[in-house]
Amino acid sequence: MKFKIITLGCKVNTYESEYIKEQLLNKGFLNTDENPDIIIINTCSVTNNADNKSLKTVRKYLRENPNCITIVCGCSSDNNRTKYQNMDIDILLGNKEKSKIPDLLEAYIEDHQKYTYFPETRELPFEDMTVEKFTSHTRAFIKIQDGCNNFCSYCIIPYVRGTIRFKSFAKIIAEAQELVKNHHYEIVLTGIHTGSYHDGDHDLSDVITKLAEIPELKRIRLSSIEITELDDKFLNVLKTTPKLCNHLHIPLQSGTDKILAKMNRKYDTTYFQNKIATIRSIRPDISLTTDAIVGHPYETDEDFKEYLKFCESLKFSKIHVFPYSKRDGTASSRMPDVDGKVKKMRAHMLLDLSTKLEEAYAKEFLNQEVEVLTEEYEDGYVVGHTSNYLKIYLKGDYLLNSFYRCKITSLKDNQIFGEVIACTN
């Protein structure tokens, strides 16, 4: 039987979908994009738009594939249980028991009994999954953590992902070693709240240090880390571990102390600014990207002007902008809402700033040499990323999943072009 997986949302979902795919392939199922017998949709609920997209996607596939076995899981199904339960879904889960999907599918094929399961507690064990090879990516992900205890006032994720929990230190290292054997030379450590990682005496810094000892592993990347988790131990790892990529994604969410407090974030602008200065004293050319919410309740025009100015002063290399999304069940849902047109205008202004900062950062590397890991073909170019996550376009016939020393030659329409000097595998 043939299956198709549709993955919406974050890198954690991507990892979980890859695990499901690998297990199904091992059981003899076939992965396809056309005429599947089984459709698996891994949903997202990080914003209202994500929820709507997930619901729309499920309805579309149910309508267009009435004879397929349909499996739905993830944050949106957990957050909108009644809506999904009213659809004709064969296997319906939240974020628990995703690892059991291959077995649940075999049971359904045998007895045709529909199955629905949602946990009634946030206190969940870590659901172990191990991926040996990523079929759809050059870089590989390892999910080392799940859940969140922060309860930012605008965020639904702690309610649908549960409490923080972790993969064992030994299993992370073993999984990484297997991935490297299967020719993944860059590994991304991911989770819902990755920087909270702990297993006994081991923390995230210990994971990075141990992974750096794997000879064939060239790069270690973090999907995201909170500013409050960049302690002295981590900063020392940043200083002494060249395999740790020259890029950190650090969510800011707002640029004023008033709104950060309303968001229940655990820092103020002075703390954030000082920590960024410390990071740049260690790695002056590091790429720092961020997430930013605009139009949170109580955000005035003056607040937003201060926010914009703060982002510009920090010189992020990219800002991922999200208009505030009211999430029922969160603290912010009881606050007044900012007008939609105002939110849209502010989002455009912050995106314009992001484009300006992105171009300024890229220009710093014009005519410089960089190392690129080639990942895919795109419009006649071989495309890959540097350690500091610059996306480089190379003209020529080059191998994928290989490292090339390149010189950045030009920037055009927000794209960066380079010429290969040598293969550095």
Q: What is the pLDDT of residue 258?
A: 96
| Alpha carbons 55 and 46: distance in angstroms, whole number | 13
**Mean per-residue pLDDT for 204-213?**
98
Structural domain boundaries of the chain?
A: 2-117, 140-361, 369-423
Whether 305 shows a pLDDT value over 80: the answer reads: yes
The CATH class that applies to domain 140-361 reads: alpha beta
Residues in a beta bridge with 255: none
DSSP state of 100: G
**Mean per-residue pLDDT for 30-42?**
96
| Alpha carbons 89 and 72: distance in angstroms, whole number | 7
Q: What is the pLDDT of residue 332?
A: 87
What's this model's pTM, rounded to 2 decimal places?
Answer: 0.94
Q: What is the pLDDT of residue 331?
A: 87
369-423: CATH topology is OB fold (Dihydrolipoamide Acetyltransferase, E2P) (2.40.50)
Q: What is the pLDDT of residue 136?
A: 72
Q: What is the pLDDT of residue 100?
A: 96
Q: Provide the token pair at 181.
A: 């054997």
Q: What is the pLDDT of residue 121?
A: 84
pLDDT bucket at 421, cuts 50 / 70 / 90 = very high
On whether the CB atoms of residues 271 and 227 are closer than 8 A, the answer is yes
Strand pairing class (30-31; 2-7): parallel
**Of 201, 195, 189, 194, nearest in space to 244 by CA:** 189
On whether the CB atoms of residues 78 and 54 are closer than 8 A, the answer is no
On whether the CB atoms of residues 6 and 43 are closer than 8 A, the answer is no
Compute the half-sphere exposure of residue 92: CA atoms within 13 Å on the CB side of its CA.
Answer: 19
Superfamily classification of domain 2-117: Methylthiotransferase, N-terminal domain (3.40.50.12160)
| Alpha carbons 385 and 374: distance in angstroms, whole number | 7
On whether the CB atoms of residues 418 and 409 are closer than 8 A, the answer is yes
**Of 406, 297, 306, nearest in space to 349 by CA:** 306
Whether 338 shows a pLDDT value over 90: the answer reads: no
pLDDT bucket at 135, cuts 50 / 70 / 90 = confident
Whether 360 shows a pLDDT value over 90: the answer reads: yes
Residue with tokens 């957990």: 78
On whether the CB atoms of residues 356 and 311 are closer than 8 A, the answer is no
